[in-house]
Amino acid sequence: MCGIAGAVSTHLAPERMRADVRRMADTLVHRGPDGEGFWAGDGVVLGHRRLAIIDLSPTGAQPMTNEDATLALVCNGEIYNYRALRAELEKRGHRFKGHSDNEVILHLYEEHGPDCVQHLVGMFGFALWDSRQKLLMLARDRIGEKPLYTAQTDAGFFFASEMKALLKAPGVNGAMDPRLISNLMIYPAVPAPDTPFLGIKALPPASRLLLDERGPRVERYWSISFRGLARDWKDDEALAAFEQTMSDAVLGTCESDVPIAVSLSGGVDSSTVAVHAAKHGATLQSFCVGWEEPGKPDPEFARAARVAEICGLQHNNIQFQATDVSALPYVIQSYDQPLASFPALFAAGLARVMREQAKVVLGGNGADEVFGGYRGYERTWLKGSLVELASHVPGPLRDALAMLGGTRAREALETAALPLAARRGAMMQKAAELLGDRLLSPAAARAVREHRPASALDDYAAECAPRNHLDVVTYTDLMVYHQHGTTVIPDVSGMAVALEIRSPFLDHRVIEFAASLPRRLTVPKPFDPTYNKAIVKRALARHLPDDIVYARKMGFGFNISYTALLQGPWRKVVDVFILKGRFRETGYFNDAGIAWAVNHNAPVAWMLLVLSIWCELYVFHETPDAVAGRLAAQVG
């Protein structure tokens, strides 16, 4: 796990390009405090900041080259199946210099070219230079656990693990992209390929970029097909297959030459990971973050401690502090975007504490999206079925019913007229437009319609060959709508303090297995969310008591209420940074809408607070220390 940066240019002098890449890499020291490395070829420079996890010796350092130095690699990530890949490659005559997991990528490329990504199990964002073909290949893992950003300027083509590094590259336009505001009407994090900056693009998940004399081209190399993977499982066979698949995934994430810990909320997902990690003999500590007050205990603290005791883990409960609002500028700077997700704040504090004990942490991220665990997914399936029935009503009759019905009935019937894969995007776009009309200036509200931020949902919904509306929702949640929680927060909160967070549920083999299941093994009861994620809970019930397995789902940090904080100890922060914030000078918002959010819609108010602080940092170019001081003054 590391930070990477690089440049390809026919315009820049070699010395200038090396200096540019070094300056970019210097912004990534937090991702790789254990060392740095650079490699230069004809018109290309690769830079690397090292966080030593596997093969701690100098042979694990990067950039790496193959036997004849015709290929050079920098990688941010971990390859969980590297032992099996290495054994096969050695049988085919490949010679390895060390024992790093990343080194297999070079030899896989020799065998398969750009299709080498198809053979990798893990999380990664890497750059590989092929000097024979004068070809740069960038690749990102299937779910997007590891980030990778690019910028094309008159000076050349640049890439890096974080946007802040690219802002150091020559000629990159760091002005705010107006589409950021449209995206914030739907998403907590900007969906790839968009970013908050006009001059920077994000490589989408499951994509590779090939750059040669013809210019850059982006290709998708993986997606889910629910119809193609569907299988008529018997329950006992499916349960056994889940246990084996999950066990293999956790075993891969336990590959490490440094200590490992578990981020444990006591819920089904993190408990499943803890059970399998303990079964594999890993010596682990566990950590839970929450908020307790006199007379108001945090149930996650008790639950997590109990699971840890059963699994034989050394457990730590971490109390969240309300005054941590002054940490917001540093948290937002670590993301380089206005991430409108409250858990990002306490995830940063949790990561700092875990880093004191471990370099690698296992988490349960992605399980709800993959296996249908969220409360509301049971209603999603039912509503989708009703809309599907409505889609078979003849058009004229459907139009007449829409005229007679209320607003919701009319919208549902209008949605029913659309193809299955287009329905969620249409509903989310409508919600974005309604919010924009209330919150934004007339011009910005029109931009929401023109930009159509929901198109990102449409693209993924179309590619997954859904069987029903639940398939559309879970897959688009995984790949777009919940990317902030499944991939962005784990990556950035961890790497900000040189901590690697691994998510076994995001192993693509686990995801493909889940896509093969019938609904009775994921979301079996349309009116009872207790049994959502059915197969995961049945498997966990073999190891833990039912009162833990079937307890009410809370989510990490359940007892921490940002509504109470915004209306209580942070109220002066709201006044100064939202109601009077300089972000209003951008002209995208109207004052009445801002006041409505502050008084009536805490999630939107939180988004505005985060955007306000992001603008202080990236539009008005305040330092994090200065903004933190102003925040602290409002809660002091």
The CB density around residue 81, as the number of other CB atoms within 10 Å, is 18
Residue 221 CB-half CA count within 13 A: 25
Residues of the chain above pLDDT 70, percent? 94
Residue type for position 434: L
Cα first-last separation, the chain: 38
Cβ neighbour number for residue 306 with a 10 Å cutoff: 17
Residue 356: pLDDT band (50, 70, 90) is confident
Q: What are phi and psi of 517, to 5 degrees?
A: -80, 145
Q: Interhelix angle for 235-253 vs 268-279, to 10°?
A: 70
Which helix (H) or strand (E) element contains residue 285? strand 284-290
* 3-class secondary structure per residue, 457-498: HHHHHHHCCCCCHHHHHHHHHHHHHCHHHHHHHHHHHHHCCC
Mean pLDDT of 471-494: 96
Question: In this predicted structure, which of 11-25, 409-423, 449-463 has the lowest mean pLDDT?
Answer: 409-423
Percent of the chain scoring above 90 in pLDDT: 80
CA distance 455 to 475: 14
Q: Which of 74-83, 116-125, 273-282, 598-607 has the lowest mean pLDDT?
A: 273-282
Beta-carbon contacts of residue 472 (< 8 Å; ≥ 6 apart) = 384, 420, 421, 423, 424, 461, 464, 466
pLDDT at 569: 87
Gap between the Cα atoms of 604 and 438, Å rounded: 11
Report the pLDDT value the prediction gives residue 230, as an integer from 0 to 100: 97
Q: What is the C-alpha separation between 379 and 374, in angstroms, rounded?
A: 10
Burial class (CB in 10 A: 0-12, 13-18, 19+), 95: exposed
11 vs 31: CA distance, rounded Å: 29
Contact assessment for residue 589 and residue 444, using Cβ atoms and an 8 Å cutoff:
yes
Give the residue numbers annotated as catalytic, written as ranges. 2
Q: Average pLDDT for residues 480-494, to the nearest whole number?
A: 96
Mean pLDDT of 300-317: 91
Report how far residue 129's alpha carbon sits from residue 139's, in angstroms, rounded to the nearest whole number.
Answer: 12
Is the backbone of residue 90 left (phi > 0), alpha (psi -120 to 50) or beta?
Answer: alpha
Contact yes or no for 484/188 (Cβ under 8 A): yes
Task: Identify which of 400-414, 465-479, 538-552 has the greatest average pLDDT.
Answer: 465-479
Burial letters for 172-195: b for 16+ Cβ neighbours within 10 Å, e otherwise?
bebebbebbbbbbbbbbbbbbebb
Give the pLDDT of residue 49: 98
Q: What is the mean pLDDT of the chain?
A: 92
Number of neighbours of residue 30 by Cβ within 10 angstroms: 16
Cα dihedral 84, 89, 90, 95 sign:
negative
Tell me: the pLDDT tens digits for 1-22?
A: 699 999 999 989 999 999 999 9
Residues 335-341 have a mean pLDDT of 96
Domains in the chain (CATH in brackets) are: 2-220 (3.60.20.10), 226-366+482-549 (3.40.50.620), 377-479 (no CATH), 562-635 (no CATH)
Task: For residue 71, list its beta bridge partners.
Answer: 130
Q: Is the pLDDT of residue 139 over 80?
A: yes
Give the confidence band of 468 by pLDDT, cuts at 50, 70, 90: very high
Q: 533-556 burial by CB neighbour count: b if 16+ within 10 A, else e?
A: bbbbbbbbeebbeeebbeeebbeb
Q: What is the pLDDT of residue 417?
A: 80
- Of 560, 568, 563, nearest to 301 (Cα)? 560
Distance CA 39, CA 47 (A): 7
DSSP state of 342: T
Is the CA virtual torsion 503, 506, 508, 510 positive or negative?
Answer: positive
Tell which phi-psi region holds residue 479, choosing left (phi > 0), alpha (psi between -120 and 50) or beta. Answer: alpha
What are the φ and ψ backbone dihedral angles of 204, each rounded to 5 degrees?
-65, 160
The number of C-alpha atoms within 13 Å of 485 and in the hemisphere containing its C-beta is 18
What's the pLDDT at 398?
55
Q: What is the pLDDT of residue 396?
A: 65
Per-residue model confidence (pLDDT) at position 146 = 98
Look-up of token digits 């971490």: 318
* Per-residue confidence band for 186, with pLDDT thresholds at 50, 70 and 90: very high
Side chain identity at residue 620, one-letter code: F
Q: What pLDDT score was predicted for residue 226?
A: 97
pLDDT at 319 over 90: no
Residues 233-270: pLDDT tens digits?
999 999 999 999 999 999 999 999 998 999 998 899 99
What is the SS3 assignment for 582?
helix
- The Cα–Cα gap between 494 and 359 comes to 9
Mean pLDDT of 415-442: 93
Segment 360-415, tens digit of pLDDT: 999 999 999 999 999 999 988 777 777 777 666 666 665 655 555 556 666 666 77
Pair of tokens at residue 596: 């409505």
Would you say the C-alpha torsion 404, 409, 410, 416 has a positive or negative sign?
A: negative
